[in-house]
């Protein structure tokens, strides 16, 4: 227990160091919102608006697999049959269901802050008789996951929308088992050819800075997706 407490304290210190150049060392700053942002800035990045449940159809659009190669994304996830996976910002369950098929002896925790999204997942699990998906209603500050219980966290195009990325990030880091991984998928902010609004993209450098601030080590960045970074971070095994 003491080791975990020290790890959280270290994460907080790292975050403070990363924000030292900001106004009086505060975690978040406020400014006039840009067109697609909320005017709240974290580690130099303005946080974007959240896609609401009314955008569910866009998540399930037929061309998504072809455009984003989501089939490859799922295939490349480092999963074992008995893993516990947390799908953060699960939405309609687009990734939850194929991941559940890959962990027949484990389970998927489908986390979202919108009850309407979770209702869609629950309806789909009943219709398909899927027994290893559990829905979790999180909050803007807390994913609602047990400590040191998750083998892998998947975050697909959701992290940049977090209203409280520090608080959520620390909660996610705590939920990982020592040595557990967080896979962060974000549209490439360095690439102007990616046809996504600026605040809905992230650079690899920004992502690595923010993950380091919550105590996660960068492991690798894979480049097989046509528009997105596939970035893997790990909770240190000795925390």
The tens digit of pLDDT for each residue in 94-129 reads 999 999 999 999 999 999 999 999 999 999 999 999
**What confidence score (pLDDT) does residue 84 get?**
98
Please check whether residue 141 lies inside any domain of the structure. yes
Please check whether residue 32 lies inside any domain of the structure. yes
Number of domains in the chain: 1
CATH number, domain containing residue 98? 3.40.50.150
**What confidence score (pLDDT) does residue 24 get?**
38
| pTM exceeding 0.95 | no
Please check whether residue 223 lies inside any domain of the structure. yes
CB 209 within 8 A of CB 182: no
Please check whether residue 116 lies inside any domain of the structure. yes
- Return the percentage of the chain with pLDDT > 70, whole number: 85
Please check whether residue 186 lies inside any domain of the structure. yes
Look-up of token digits 């967080």:
182
The secondary structure of residue 113, as a DSSP letter, is: S
| pLDDT tens sequence across 136-167 | 999 999 999 999 999 999 999 999 999 999 99
- Return the percentage of the chain with pLDDT > 90, whole number: 79
Please check whether residue 131 lies inside any domain of the structure. yes
DSSP output for 207-219:
HHHHHHHTTPEEE
The secondary structure of residue 131, as a DSSP letter, is: -
DSSP output for 25-36:
G-SEEE----TT
d(CA 34, CA 228): 23
Measured at the CA of 106, the angle between CA 217 and CA 219, to 5 degrees, comes to 15
- Supply the mean pLDDT for the chain: 88
Please check whether residue 239 lies inside any domain of the structure. no
Length of the chain as a residue count: 239
Please check whether residue 204 lies inside any domain of the structure. yes
| pLDDT tens sequence across 185-214 | 999 999 999 999 999 999 999 999 999 999
**What confidence score (pLDDT) does residue 59 get?**
62
Beta strand pairing status for 150-156 and 176-188?
A: parallel
**What confidence score (pLDDT) does residue 50 get?**
81
Cα–Cα distance list, 22 to 15, 30, 43, 162 (Å): 11, 11, 8, 19
CB 85 within 8 A of CB 79: yes
CB 239 within 8 A of CB 178: yes
Residue 222 domain boundaries = 2-234
């Amino acid at each position: 227990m003491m080791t975990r407490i020290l790890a959280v304290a270290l994460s907080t210190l790292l975050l403070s160091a990363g924000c030292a150049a900001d106004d009086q060392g505060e975690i978040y700053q406020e400014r006039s919102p840009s067109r697609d942002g909320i005017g709240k800035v974290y580690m130099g990045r303005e946080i974007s608006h959240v896609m609401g449940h009314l955008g569910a159809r866009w998540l399930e659009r037929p061309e998504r697999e072809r455009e984003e190669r989501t089939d490859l994304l799922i295939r490349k996830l480092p999963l074992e049959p008995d893993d516990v996976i947390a799908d953060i910002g699960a939405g309609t369950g687009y990734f939850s269901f194929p991941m559940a098929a890959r962990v027949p002896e484990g389970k998927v925790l489908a986390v979202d802050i919108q009850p309407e999204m979770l209702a869609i997942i629950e309806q789909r699990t009943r219709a398909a008789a899927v027994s290893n998906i559990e829905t979790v209603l999180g909050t803007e500050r807390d994913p609602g996951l047990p400590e040191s219980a998750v083998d892998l966290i998947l975050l697909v195009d959701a992290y940049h929308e977090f209203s409280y990325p520090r608080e959520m990030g620390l909660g996610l880091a705590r939920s990982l088992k020592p040595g557990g991984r967080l896979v962060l998928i974000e549209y490439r902010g360095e690439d102007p050819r990616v046809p996504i609004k600026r605040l809905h993209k992230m650079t690899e450098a920004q992502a690595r800075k923010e993950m380091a601030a919550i105590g996660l080590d960068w492991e690798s960045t894979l480049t097989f997706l046509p528009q997105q970074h596939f970035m893997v971070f790990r909770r240190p095994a000795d925390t």
